[in-house]
Amino acid sequence: MTQRPGSGRSDHHLRNVLVWWVVLSVLAEIGWLVAGPLLMPAAASSDAVFANTTIVVFTALAIPVALFVWVFMAYSLIRFRVKSRPSEAGPHLVASNGQQIAWLGITGALCLFLVIWGLFGMYQASTDPPGRPLIVDVTAQQWTWTFRYPSAGVSSNQLVLPVGRPVEFEVTSLDVVHGFDVHAFSVRLDANPGSVIATNIVTPTRLGSFSVRCVELCGLYHAYMWAPVKVVSDQDFAAWLRDAAQGSRGGAGA
């Protein structure tokens, strides 16, 4: 913004603001790039890793933009404060063509980058890996999740998956709308009564324990509607399937 052409005091203030902006941006960027990845939730699939990376990168890009506004505002509020109401209007501000083109160009380029990044991520998420995925039927009801492995005839209240094997969840609800969310896999969609919706195919990429949560308010015990997720080795998964199948075949009926 141009205040009065040739005003030395204006250049002085502008220089101060820009110095503050650059210093704070550098400090904030360093802090975020060090601490940001540590704050991200566990990622157990390539989609989840990409989601976490996206958050880190987008925040890193947003920091200097946000600070640009905040530093200008804070500097103005502090440096140009007065105790009483001013009796005359401030200077007439006129932006040059070059400044406007620079502002629009920089912000436009940033937005374009974000769009391309997002499209790339969506393309990755929608590309199915080769081979047949493991199908898991997910049933939501007030207030629990149950999982069925049709290929093995096994049902469970825990979601157990083999590492490195693609899996597709087919999700439905028996009563109200629930939200099926496995944050570690970056999988989330509604569980609707009367319909079965398939998620994108995801591949668990690391061993560990995670959780399924309901993310759609569904009644009194919505907060308790969760289930453990365990990603195990192929051998452990096969053993678990065998044990679960034996357990479900026992006993006489009533």
Partner 1 sequence: MTERGGAPDQAREGGGARRAAGAVLAVAVGFALVLGAWAGLRLIAGLGYEPASLTAARSGPGQASISLAVYPDSYPCHGSASGAPGGGADPDWVTFCPTTSLRVPAHSLVTVTIREYDTATPLHNSFFATVRGTVNGSMLLNGRPVRQVSADQVGHTFTIQTPPNTTEPYLFVSVPLVGVSGSAPNAVTIAGHQYPKPNVIRFQFRTGAPGTYIWHCYVPCGAGLGGSQEGFGGPMGTTGYMAGTITVG
Chain positions 202 to 221 lying near partner 1, rule: CB under 8 A, are 211, 213, 219-221
Phi, then psi, of 78 in degrees rounded to 5: -85, -50
- Whole-number Cα distances in Å, 178 to 33, 94, 193, 218, 221: 35, 54, 9, 6, 12
Taking contact as CB under 8 A, which single stretch among the options 57-65, 90-98, 140-148, 184-192 is the one that binds partner 1?
140-148
> Whose Cβ is closer to partner 1: residue 26's or residue 174's?
174
Tell the smallest beta-carbon distance from residue 136 to partner 1 (Å).
14
Tell the smallest beta-carbon distance from residue 231 to partner 1 (Å).
16
81 part of the interface to partner 1, by CB under 8 A: no
Cα 161 to the center of its chain, rounded Å: 22
> Distance between CA atoms of 69 and 180, rounded to whole angstroms?
38
CA torsion angle 35 41 47 52 (round to 10): -20
> Whose Cβ is closer to partner 1: residue 165's or residue 222's?
222
135 - beta bridge partners? 168
150 part of the interface to partner 1, by CB under 8 A: no
> Distance between CA atoms of 37 and 56, rounded to whole angstroms?
7
Taking contact as CB under 8 A, which single stretch among the options 6-14, 79-87, 99-107, 121-129 is the one that binds partner 1?
79-87
Joined together, the tokens standing for residue 207 give: 């061993």
> Distance between CA atoms of 185 and 169, rounded to whole angstroms?
11
Among 6, 8, 34, 87, binds partner 1 (CB under 8 A): 87
53 part of the interface to partner 1, by CB under 8 A: no
**H/E run at residue 135:** strand 134-141
Q: How many residues bind partner 1 (CB under 8 A)?
A: 34
Residues lying near partner 1 in the complex (CB under 8 A) are found at 84-87, 139, 141-144, 146, 148, 155, 157-158, 174-176, 193, 211, 213, 219-221, 223-224, 226, 228, 247-248, 250-254
